[in-house]
Amino acid sequence: MKKRRLTFSKKIILLVLSSIAFTILCSFFFIHFLYSNLYLSTIEKSIIYQGQRTASHYHYGELSDEIIEKIQWYNIVSEYEVIVVDDLNELSSYFPYQINKQSLLGEEDFATLETGQYVLKKGYVTEFHREILGAIFPIKGDQQLIGFIYIYVPLAAIQDVFKESIPLLIGIGLVFFCLLLTITWLLLRSLFNPLKKLEEQAIEIADGNYGHIVDVHSNDEVGQVAKTFNMMSESLEKQEIRQKEFISNIVHELRTPLTYIRGYTEALKQDALAEKKDEYIETIEKEANRLNKIITDLVDLTHLEEGFNQMTKQPLAISQVLMDTLDLFVIHQQQKNIIFQIKIDESLIVLGDAKRLEQIFYNILDNALKYSFSNSEINVSLEKQKDFAQVRVQNFGILIEEKDLPAIGQRFFRTDKARTRTTGGTGLGLSIVKEITRLHNGHFSITSHPEEGTILTVEIPLLKGEKS
């Protein structure tokens, strides 16, 4: 049988009820403590004081009628009951009651009194229907005890002692409980209403509906949870949008070369078009290479983002990596008659992965060459900027609109879709550049202006000891 667990709301209610019960219990013990340690202690001290004072007046002589008469007069004006006897055996005739169903005096009490000490007696008397508190005091004569004084008082019950305070305590208790219940209700409302909304929104998100957010009216823990939930919802919505865009883009990117390959393959099957066989085969090869590059770049980018590829970082001269990469573009540079203006600080040392840094430089230089006008120039610089080695590539070609700049580096994003066929770009190169730069704790930025052209900047942290 499955064990039922208490819900959070029931736990809160149980906690409140337990607190109330605990408060009542503590109040009971507190009142009992006051009764025992305040009321009873005061009565006891008063009896002892009065008994010892009365007994001390009669140090010598016998217990005459005059002395007994004075003591009886004191009995009338005092709040206590006072009994005076010559012999302890006579005490039972004046006080014929049992205390706690036992005789007033026992053998030990007799022995104590014979030594001149008083005996304190407390217990329940059935005839009085309540407890009494009293003490028996010996009266000393010249050489022996000449009598005994028994002072006692019926004790008031707790409710009698606190009869004036009980209404006040009950009133304060009612106010306290009403206040506690109100606070509890407000707490439950403020706590569970947002949680209920969170539950409803979680169901909506599970169904793919991200349009709703949880209203946050507090800055407490529940409010923070609601804010975090809203952030998560927005993030999931953006993630789903990116996922849909990614699927749409990759379908588009893969469909185009596959369409070319299939079309030209069908054309090759027709003998009438055999004279264009070499041209078709070249196009199929080009599209196959393009398809392979898309898949390779996509896998590489995914591995970088997910951390599957480990960086092998070591101190290296970043200028050498940049110069080696520039050598790869000599042919492309000559084909478009583009001049590289190079300014490099060869002293800069960074901690990085040489292959990945070469991949950064190759992509940004390839990008600059593709979109530069023929017979123009590309400025390439490597300089120290504070704690970073800054690589700056400036080209003069087709500009990027300002609205498209924030999207540069997103997967498959290209500012001009028509350039795909001529440039062969996959829209993944700068995404890889941004990710590798991030993994090196560096910075990536791009600007595009009619007077300055397009400037792409990558900053890699300098090795410690190389910083200015």
Question: Do residues 349 and 362 lie in contact, with contact meaning Cβ atoms separated by under 8 Å?
Answer: no
Q: For the residues 184-207, what does the mean pLDDT come to?
A: 74
Task: Tell me what pLDDT residue 167 has.
Answer: 72
The whole-angstrom separation of Cα 346 and Cα 143 is 122
Report whether pLDDT(162) > 70: no
> Which of 69-83, 309-323, 357-371, 435-449 is least confident?
69-83
Q: Which CATH architecture has domain 8-161?
A: 2-Layer Sandwich (3.30)
Task: Tell me what pLDDT residue 418 has.
Answer: 43
Record: fold of 311-461:
Heat Shock Protein 90 (3.30.565)
The whole-angstrom separation of Cα 85 and Cα 68 is 8
Q: What is the pLDDT of residues 387-420, one digit of tens each?
A: 999 999 999 888 888 877 776 766 666 665 444 4
Question: Do residues 423 and 371 lie in contact, with contact meaning Cβ atoms separated by under 8 Å?
Answer: yes
Report whether pLDDT(372) > 80: yes
Task: Tell me what pLDDT residue 1 has.
Answer: 47
Quick one: what percent of the chain has pLDDT higher than 90? 15
Quick one: what percent of the chain has pLDDT higher than 70? 76
Where are the domains positioned within the chain?
8-161, 311-461
Task: Tell me what pLDDT residue 461 has.
Answer: 93
- Please, what is the average pLDDT of the chain? 78
Cα separation values, 364 from 210, 329, 368, 445, Å: 37, 12, 6, 12
> Which of 59-68, 79-88, 206-215 is least confident?
59-68
